[in-house]
Amino acid sequence: MNYTLHQLQIFLKITQLKSITKASEALFLSQPAVSIQLKKFQDQFSIPLTEVVGRQLYVTDFGWEIAEAAEKILNEVDAINYKTMSFKGQIAGRLKISVVSTGKYVMPYFLSDFTNKNKGVDLIIDVTNKQSVVKSLENNEVDFSLVSVIPEQLNLSRVELMENRLYLIGGTKDKFNPKVSTKKIFETYPMLYREDGSATRNAMETFLEGQHISTPKRIELTSNEALKQAVIAGLGYSIMPLIGIKNELKNGDLQIIPFKGLPIVTNWNLVWQKSKNLSPVALAYLDFVKKEKDRIIKENFDWYSEY
């Protein structure tokens, strides 16, 4: 057996993505290079690791066993590298963070300076829905999570980062007539909602119920980007987080429609299980956030004050 760590890395990525093309993109390699390494790796085994049925790549049972072993080997290699850097006085290790979908407009700004300064930190970010974020916290799969609504069922510590403001948003193809009651929007046009369980949807529904507003026409979309494009196209109106529509407001594709009781204001929070034994990397990051959050907000989110 003369397989290399590089081949193990490539094979593991192929099993994770079930595609040579996607693996090559994720590893920043050409597709032929990945195919060649997969063949060289396969040639060292008498049992098939993968098979192609139609145009779909499948991993065999034996392949999954090898992938599991490859992951363990690569994790041990990472641990050796981290220990080496730690002995040199450098911060090294993995930092895992789960982020609710709207939080992708926030979290990178609170990470870039830290990771640029600490080259030995491997960052893993999972951008997903609120339910998956809560599950990752419950299962102790991440160091931190970014949420705008703190799950009450968990015993969490938190650092409050910045405001999350939600406004009534419309497109600009047909300019909103200020002489018409804004309640007519909710009664006349479709209202666009995020999927059930989304924090944005929960905030929107709570607000509308409190205002005794019914929305007879409803359309549901499963991502903020899809929701934003639908509003721009004139499909309907929505209550959306300001954080994700900066460019569209500046370009004149979207407009904020003033409405009593808006904006809805919550806060972005970095949270973690109180019982969690944070790693040295996680502790270093937590210290960084506490010290630098005000500077980061001032440098990157000053535009909030315009709205």
**Counting Cβ atoms within 10 Å, is residue 306 exposed (0-12), middle (13-18) or buried (19+)?**
exposed
User: Looking at domain 91-162+267-306, does it have CATH number 3.60.150.10?
Assistant: no
Q: How confident is the model at residue 246 (pLDDT cuts 50, 70, 90)?
A: very high
What's the rounded mean pLDDT across residues 150-162? 92
- CATH value of 164-265 in 3.90.226.10, 3.40.50.300, 3.40.190.10, 3.90.1150.10: 3.40.190.10
Mean pLDDT across the chain, nearest whole number? 88
Q: Strand pairing of 238-241 and 156-171?
A: antiparallel
Backbone angles phi, psi at 260, to 5 degrees: -60, 130
Determine the pLDDT at residue 85. 61
Partnered with residue 94 across adjacent β-strands are 122
Q: How confident is the model at residue 250 (pLDDT cuts 50, 70, 90)?
A: very high
Give the Cα separation of 100 and 141 in Å (integer): 15
| Strand spans (E) along 69-148 | 92-100, 120-128, 144-147
Q: What is the mean pLDDT of residues 287-291?
A: 94
pLDDT at 253 over 90: yes
Q: Which two tokens stand for residue 281?
A: 């990397």
User: How confident is the model at residue 86, as a pLDDT?
Assistant: 61
Query: Would the pLDDT of 94 be above 60?
Result: yes
Residue 129 pLDDT class (50, 70, 90 cuts): confident
> Does the pLDDT value for residue 120 go beyond 70?
yes
Per-residue pLDDT, averaged over 223-246, amounts to 92
Domain regions of the chain by residue span:
5-86, 91-162+267-306, 164-265
CATH topology of domain 5-86: Arc Repressor Mutant, subunit A (1.10.10)
Distance separating alpha carbons of residues 131 and 115, to the nearest angstrom = 27
The whole model's pTM is what?
A: 0.71
Read off the pLDDT of residues 193-233 as tens digits, 9 standing for 90 and up: 998 888 889 889 999 999 888 888 889 998 888 999 999 99
Same fold, 5-86 and 91-162+267-306: no
Residue 133 has pLDDT above 80, yes or no: yes
